[in-house]
Amino acid sequence: MNRLDKRLRAEKRFRFYGQFALGLAVAMLALLVGSIVVRGASGFTQTQVRLPIAFDPMTLQLPPGSDAADASVSSYQLLAQASLKAMFPEVTDHHELRDAYHLISGNSGAVLKPVLVRHPGLLGQTKNVWLPLASDADLYVKDGMPEHTPGGYSKLNDKQIVWLKTLQQKNLLRSAFNRSFFTQGDSRSPERAGFLAAMTGSALTLIICLLVAFPLGVMTAVYLEEFARKGHFVDLIEVNINNLAAVPSIVFGLLGLAVYINVMGLPRSSALVGGMTLAMMILPVIIISTRAGLSSIPGSIRDAARALGASPLQVVWHHALPLAMPGIMTGTILGMARAIGETAPLLMIGMVAFVADVPTGFTTPTTVMPVQIYLWASSPETGFSEKTAAGIMVLLVLLLAMNALAIFLRKRFEVRW
C-alpha cells in the first residue's frame, strides 16, 4: 500500500512538473510576443503635422511654362521649411531655425512633389498638406509628450518641445497609418525607412528557392524510395541526408559563397544566389517529408497498378505521388517557412548590404526581411527600434500563415489507410 501511495504521489509530481513547464513556456512566449507587439504597434503609425504650403514658383525655381516634375525634391523641402518658419515668426536665429526644420521629416519634399504633379493648378497657391514629423519628434509625441526638464529628454531641446506643444494646441498634429512602411525601401533616416524592399527580396528569394528545391527534393526522394536498390551506398546517402538536416545554416552560406559566387561568378547579394543557397538548406526537409509520404502508401495500391499493366514510372506518377502529395506539400511549406526566417547563410553571400531601392529582378542587389530586421536592430538611432519590432511582427504573421497553411493542407488532404 505504501508503494502504491508513493507511485501515485510521484505521478502527481510528474504531472505538476509538466503543467508548470507548459505554463512557464506559455508565459515566456506571451511575454515575448507582447513586448514585440507593444513596441512594434507604433511602427505602423506616424505623426503628421498640417502645414499651409505655398507652392511658390520662385522657391521651386520653376521658369514659366515648365513642369512641376522638373523641380528637385530639395526645392520642395524648402517649401515645407518656409511654411514652418512662417508659423513661428519669432524664430529668427539661424541655429533655432535649423532646430525648427528638424521637427519635420527630411522626406517632406518627396511628399509635396507628387501633390503638385497631380494638381498643377496649385502652383502659385497655398494648400494645407499633412507632412510627417522627424523620427525624434514622432517618438516624443507617441510617448505622450511628457513634461520636459533640462536633460530629461535628450533627443529634443526645450524650444523644440515648446514648438511641438504649440502645434498640438493648435490641433495641427495627428496620428496616421504609416503607408511608407509598406511602400518604400530602407533609408538612413528612421521616418523614411520602409519594409517593401525586404519583402520583395524575400519573395524573389523564395521563388528561386522553391523552383530549385522542390523538383530536386521530390525527384531524389522518389528515386531513393521507389527505384534505388537497397545497399550500403543508398544507406550512406540516407544517413548523409538526415545529417544535413541538422547542419548549422551558416555552413550552407559558406558553401553558397564558395560555389555560387567565387566559382560560378553569380552576382553577389542577389535573390538568385540567396534562393539557391536556401534551397540547399531545405532540400533535406523536402526529401525526408516526401519519403515519409511515399512510404505511408500501402503496397497493395502499387501491386494493383502493376497488375493492371502500369509501368513502374506510371505507378509512381499516377498513384504514389498524388497520394503522397499532402505530405510533400506540408514538408515543402515548412521548409519554406524555415527559409524565410533564416539570416546567417544570407549574411555570408553579402545580403547584409544597405539596399534602398526595391529589387526589380532576380540578379539585382537585394535584402530579405530577417536581414533587414538585423540591420535595423543594430542601428544606433532610437527610431529604428520600433521599425525593428514592426518588421518582426510582419515576419511572424507570414510565418504563422505558412504554418497554418501546412496544417490545413495536412488535415484537408490527409488519407487514413
pLDDT, tens digit (0-9, with 9 covering 90-100), for 12-34: 889 999 999 999 999 998 998 88
The answer to whether position 191 is within a domain reads: no
Q: What pLDDT score was predicted for residue 392?
A: 92
Distance CA 158, CA 160 (A): 6
Whether 363 and 193 have beta carbons less than 8 Å apart is answered as no
Number of domains present in the structure of the chain = 2
pLDDT, tens digit (0-9, with 9 covering 90-100), for 82-112: 888 888 888 888 888 898 888 898 888 888 8
Distance set, CA 396 to CA 63, 97, 106, 184, 285 (Å)? 51, 42, 31, 20, 21
CB-hemisphere CA count at 13 Å for 335? 30
Distance CA 341, CA 269 (A): 17
φ, ψ for residue 378, nearest 5 deg: -90, 0
129: cell is: 498638406
Let me know whether 225 and 297 are in one domain: yes
Tell me the pTM. 0.84
Q: What pLDDT score was predicted for residue 210?
A: 92
Report which of residues 120 and 214 the model is more confident about.
214
Q: Decide: residue 286, CB within 10 A, 0-12 exposed, 13-18 middle, 19+ buried.
A: buried
As a whole-number percent, the residues of the chain with pLDDT over 90 amount to 22
Q: Residue 105 is part of which domain span?
A: 47-178
248: pLDDT strictly greater than 60: yes
φ, ψ for residue 49, nearest 5 deg: -120, 140
Q: What pLDDT score was predicted for residue 417?
A: 55
Per-chain mean pLDDT for the chain: 86
Let me know whether 335 and 206 are in one domain: yes
Structural domain ending residue among the three candidates 123, 150, 178: 178
Let me know whether 233 and 306 are in one domain: yes
Distance set, CA 69 to CA 76, 121, 123 (Å)? 11, 13, 12
pLDDT, tens digit (0-9, with 9 covering 90-100), for 189-247: 888 888 999 999 999 999 999 999 999 999 999 998 888 888 888 888 888 888 888 88
Whether 399 and 341 have beta carbons less than 8 Å apart is answered as yes
Q: What pLDDT score was predicted for residue 216?
A: 93
Let me know whether 72 and 219 are in one domain: no
165: pLDDT strictly greater than 50: yes
Let me know whether 167 and 200 are in one domain: no
The confidence band for 334, taking pLDDT boundaries of 50, 70 and 90, is confident
pLDDT, tens digit (0-9, with 9 covering 90-100), for 253-265: 888 889 998 889 8
276: pLDDT strictly greater than 90: yes
